[in-house]
Amino acid sequence: MAGLVAGLAVMMMAPSLFAYNGLDGTITFGASTYQYGDGGEFNAVTTGLGSFATFCLETSEYIGQPPSGPYTYTINTGAVPGDAGAGATDPNTGLPMDNISIGTAWLYSQFRAGTLTLDTGTGSYFDANRLANAGELQNAIWYLEDEGGQNNGYVALAEEALDLTAIQVKADSNGAYGVVALDLFNLAGSPAQDQLAMVPSYTVVPEPSTVALIALGVGALGLVLQRRLS
């Protein structure tokens, strides 16, 4: 009985698909002072999440050099198709998906909060060398997402801050810190370079299969209670 209740609680708290009601939409990119080569910082303007600076998750897909767009986006737990790091399947498209790592989620949440330090753990990312810092952070994100990149000081910073090993820091974030992926598609429907975003306030909607399991579990729970009362 206790196991059934615990299992239902886990399913309700951690659905395998995060669906964000009313927040999917379109995205355009403006020119950025701190864009480093083909990576972030990109200046994104979205219809569902507002305007923010972001970094890309993939190296084999592309967006047009800013200013560019519009693209459509779907909010998800990972990049689609995810390239070499793909270890999951996107329930929206059936394509391979690479879920965001916990290291990436932590680094990006610190960046968005304005509290990210230099890779030494001191100073500020947002100093006079921000362009170079952006390049280092982008390469750390690519590394943590198994997209190449570099195992640099920002990777080490995430490992130390989270008290995780080099393997653990690449584990799936499961929506931690409200950090999500924007799966981008061009107007022809082809995948474009996916981006990081944050969803500070959202409604998590379980997959239909999860809802069915919850309903089944609730029904079983009611049957057990009915038998005990009779």
* Residue 97 dihedral angles phi and psi, to the nearest 5°: -140, 140
Residue 219 has pLDDT above 80, yes or no: no
What's the pLDDT band for 90 if we cut at 50, 70, 90? confident
- Which pLDDT belongs to residue 21? 57
- Which pLDDT belongs to residue 225? 39
Please state, in angstroms and rounded to a whole number, the distance separating the CA atoms of residues 153 and 194.
24
Q: Judge contact between 147 and 113, C-beta under 8 A.
A: no
Assign 12 to helix, strand or coil: helix
Residue 65 has pLDDT above 50, yes or no: yes
pLDDT in tens, 154-207: 999 999 999 999 999 999 998 899 999 999 999 998 999 999 999 975 444 444
Share of the chain above pLDDT 90, in %: 67
The 10 Å CB-count burial string (b at 16+, else e) for 77-104 is: bbbbbbbebbebebeeeeebbbbbbbbb
Task: Give me the count of residues in the chain.
Answer: 230
Q: What is the mean pLDDT of residues 10-36?
A: 70
* Residue 10 dihedral angles phi and psi, to the nearest 5°: -65, -45
Average of per-residue pLDDT values in the chain:
83
Closest CA to 73 of 195, 185, 213: 185
Residue 115 has pLDDT above 60, yes or no: yes
Share of the chain above pLDDT 70, in %: 77
- Which pLDDT belongs to residue 84? 76
- Which pLDDT belongs to residue 144? 98
Question: Of residues 39 and 213, which shows the higher confidence score?
Answer: 39
Residue 33 has pLDDT above 90, yes or no: yes
User: Among 83-92, 113-122, 183-192, 206-215, which range has the highest average pLDDT?
Assistant: 113-122
The alpha helices in the chain, defined as continuous H runs, are 2-13, 102-113, 130-144, 153-162, 208-229
Residue 213 has pLDDT above 80, yes or no: no
DSSP 74-110: EEESEESS-GGG--EE-TTT--EEEEPBHHHHHHHHH
What's the pLDDT band for 135 if we cut at 50, 70, 90? very high
- Reported as half-sphere exposure (CB side, CA atoms, 13 A), residue 94 has a value of 0
* Residue 12 dihedral angles phi and psi, to the nearest 5°: -75, -30
What's the pLDDT band for 86 if we cut at 50, 70, 90? confident
How many whole angstroms from its chain centre is CA 206? 17
Closest CA to 168 of 103, 86, 108: 103
The neighbour count for residue 33, using CB atoms within 10 Å, is 9
* Residue 48 dihedral angles phi and psi, to the nearest 5°: -110, -20
User: Quick one: 45 exposed, middle or buried, by C-beta within 10 A (0-12, 13-18, 19+)?
Assistant: middle
